[in-house]
Chain A
Amino acid sequence: MTTANNLVQGLLLGGLYAMFATGLSLMFGVMRLVNLAHGDFAILAAFLALVMVDGTGLNPLLTLAVAVPAMFVLGYLLQRGLLNFAVGGDGLAPVLVTFGLSIILQNLLLELFSADSRGLDAGAIEDTSLALGRLNVGWFPLLTLVTGAAVLGGLQLLLARTRLGRALRATSDDPEAAELVGVDHRHAFAMATGLALATVAIAGIFLGIRTTFSPALGPTRLIFAFEAVIIGGLGSLWGTLAGGMVLGVAQTLGAQVSPGWGVLTGHLVFLAVLAFRPSGLFGKPVTT
């Protein structure tokens, strides 16, 4: 049953998209900043893993142990050193700076690694699958979904239960009042970006294992992350998972109709949500 199979594939793909969307959503939630280079940082992480794999022969999944903390630090420094100066003021600077960053990153990767497509080989896990009734569910896509849900759940827990999470939410509400209770808002912003880049590193490496990647792939990942957030609804992390799944299903079913129509179908579903339910499937209704 190809349709049923594709449905399942789409749902599992949603886990990957949710992983991409988490960081984007977090940065927007805490400091109203949309990082247009978000997808490119995922690709950067994939290339980082590639370098490590080529150098050590390790399984790419193991490189997460190095890549995730490294990207966290990169995100923290990026916010502290650059993006903190773009926040606030008129809305132009954050878009311009992160877009510029995206172009710089893509072209740097292009110069360093050439435009060839690369892949990360995770070995046997990529080829094995689980038989569920008449469906064949790949172990790796299943792992991706579980990881995506874990990343989302972990972030949700961090925001709801920890001291850092409270500080992030308070800063998101009112950065000046947060300063008055002892929260350094520049540090809080940097922690958010660090977390965002750490999560997108996981997404990037899983992407690299699942499929091929090249320096120019970042922007489409950004778009999928964005679509997952909007379809699911702003302000709801679990909604983002749902949004990712809707997008994944739309893409796989669309590709079933005609291979070139996969991504396009996803875009059209996104536009439909924007047209008829702008607050998203699970989002809080937007006032004004």
Chain B
Amino acid sequence: MSAGRPLLEVAGLDAWYGDFQALFDVSVSVAGGEVVAIIGANGAGKSTLLRTVAGLLPRTAGAVRFDGADLAGVPAHRRVALGISLVPEGRRIFPSLSVEENLLVGAQARRPGPWSVPAVLELFPLLAGKRRRGGGQLSGGEQQALAIGRGLMANPRLLLLDEVSLGLAPIVVRRIYEALPAIRAAGTTVVVIEQDIGQALRAADRVYCLLEGRVALEGAPASLDRDRIAAAYFGVRA
């Protein structure tokens, strides 16, 4: 798609939570403008990978490069200013802020770009009319939309979505994925962790499958058949 180096390059990444090693020699590459999905069983390390890219893990080895620049030592809040935005697992919107304030605080890094409060409300109509509502008073689907909207307010070049469909009704999940093309059209590269494999294959240009902290499979959806995916997902050896 775009010429030259990948937007995000993860090379030989090891990551630890305290004494527990969660990622082993993980290498991932995301080109500008792509939508990449990461699938895998629970505990495979998917969230850990995104959190490492976002700068939340203190202990790692290996390289994470964003547009060619090494991110080692760059704290999480600085990475937002550089153009990386993580929508965390569990939504984690701010309950004592209103919908509008949640979005406004998302723009803390003051990056220029197409996303604004009206733009986000247009993208997620289910939030329109709830500007003054307290963050803690929203339904699960509204909170997820708000969390993504808040992530977009940072006008990121790379949007990381962690488990956006968890605990949501299928119709709500569909509405959220319907917003992806608009996000992509605005120039944002997206990496999404998705439990629903079918959804991941439909939405993504490329898929990575993680198993027990390692990359078990990688490729375009068209090139992956069910058996290969199942083998990589569950670790069934031939």
A→B interface (CB under 8 Å): 163, 166-167, 169-170, 172-174, 176-185
Given the complex of chains A and B, what is the CA–CA distance between A19 and B150 in angstroms?
A: 35
A172 vs B75: C-alpha distance in the bound complex, in angstroms?
A: 19
Contact B54 A180 (CB under 8 A): yes
Known A-B contacts A166-B104, A176-B56; A181 and B97 likewise in contact (beta carbons under 8 Å): no
The answer to whether A167 and B94 touch (CB under 8 A), given A180-B86, A180-B88, A182-B154, is: no
Of residues 123 through 150 on chain B, the ones whose CB sits less than 8 Å from some CB of chain A are 150
Query: Which of A163, A170, A172 neighbours the largest number of chain B CB atoms within 10 Å of its CB?
Result: A170
Whether B75 and A180, one on each chain, are in contact in the complex, defined by CB atoms closer than 8 angstroms, is no
Q: Which chain A residues lie closer than 8 Å to B202 at the CB level?
A: none
Contact with A along B38-66 (1 / 0, CB 8 A): 00000000000000001110000000000
State how many angstroms separate the Cβ of B24 from the closest Cβ of chain A: 25
Shortest A89–chain B CB gap in Å is 14
B108, closest chain A residue (CB):
A182
Using Cβ atoms and an 8 Å threshold, which residues of chain A touch B25? none
- CB <8 Å contact, A174 and B106: no
- Whether the pair B96, A181 counts as a contact (CB closer than 8 A) is no
Residue on B nearest A29 in the bound complex, by CB: B96
- A286 shortest CB reach to chain B, Å: 16
Q: Are B94 and A163 in contact (CB under 8 A)?
A: no
Q: Choose among B88, B93, B97, B105 the residue with the greatest number of A CB atoms under 10 Å from its CB.
A: B105
Name the 3 nearest CB pairs between A and B, nearest first: A182-B109, A182-B80, A182-B108
B54, B55, B93, B108: the one contacting A183 at CB < 8 Å is: B108
B residues 74-101 touching A (CB-CB < 8 Å): 75-77, 80-81, 85-86, 88, 92-97, 101
**Inter-chain residue pair count (beta carbon < 8 A):** 68
Beyond the given A173-B95, A176-B92, please list 15 additional residue pairs across the A-B interface where CB-CB is below 8 A. A166-B105, A169-B94, A169-B101, A170-B94, A172-B96, A177-B93, A179-B55, A180-B56, A180-B85, A180-B151, A181-B150, A182-B80, A182-B108, A182-B109, A185-B77
* Docked complex Cα distance between A166 and B94 (Å): 10
Q: How near does chain B come to A24, taking the closest CB pair, in angstroms?
A: 19
Contact of B92 among A166, A167, A177, A183 (CB under 8 A): A177
A146 to B33, CA, bound (A): 57
Residue of A nearest to B95 (CB): A173
- Closest Cβ of chain A to B44, distance in Å, is 22
Contact A182 B81 (CB under 8 A): yes
Chain B contributes a number of interface residues (CB within 8 A of A) equal to 27
Given contacts A180-B54, A181-B106, A181-B109, contact A174 B76 (CB under 8 A): no
When chains A and B are docked, how far (Å) is the Cα of A174 from the Cα of B94?
7
Known contacts A182-B80, A184-B75, A184-B77; A173 and B108 CB within 8 A of each other: no
Give the chain B neighbours of A172 by CB distance below 8 A. 96
Find out whether the CB atom of B77 lies under 8 angstroms from the CB atom of A182: yes
Contact call B96/A169, Cβ cutoff below 8 A: yes
Contact of A169 among B54, B56, B97 (CB under 8 A): B97
Residues of A within 8 A of B76 (CB): 179-180
Can you list 18 residue pairs at the A/B interface with Cβ under 8 Å?
A: A166-B108, A167-B105, A167-B108, A169-B94, A169-B97, A173-B96, A173-B97, A174-B94, A176-B56, A177-B93, A180-B76, A180-B85, A180-B86, A180-B151, A181-B85, A181-B106, A182-B109, A184-B77
Bound CA span A177–B108, Å: 12
CB-CB nearest in chain B for A179: B76
Give chain A residues whose Cβ lies under 8 Å from the Cβ of B56. Answer: 176, 179-180
Contact of B88 with A177 in the complex, beta carbons under 8 Å: yes
Quick check: B108 and A180 within 8 Å, CB to CB?
no
Instruction: Give the shortest distance, in Å, between A25 (CB) and chain B (any CB).
Output: 15
Contacting residue for A179 out of B77, B96, B104, CB 8 A: B77
Shortest distance from the beta carbon of B88 to any chain A beta carbon, whole Å: 6
Task: Provide the bound-state CA to CA distance between A173 and B136, in Å.
Answer: 11
A80 to chain B, nearest CB (A): 14
Smallest CB gap from B106: residue in A: A181
Q: Tell me the smallest distance from the CB of A48 to a CB of chain B, in Å.
A: 33
Nearest to A163 among chain B residues (CB) is B108
A179 to B92 CA separation, bound complex (whole angstroms): 12
Q: How far is the CA of A140 from the CA of B154 in the complex (A)?
A: 48
Minimal beta-carbon separation of A28 from chain B (angstroms): 14
Contacts of B104 in A (CB 8 A): 163, 166
Residue of chain A at shortest CB distance from B101: A166
Interchain CA distance A181-B108 in the complex, whole Å: 6
Cα–Cα distance between A183 and B92 once the two chains are bound (Å): 15
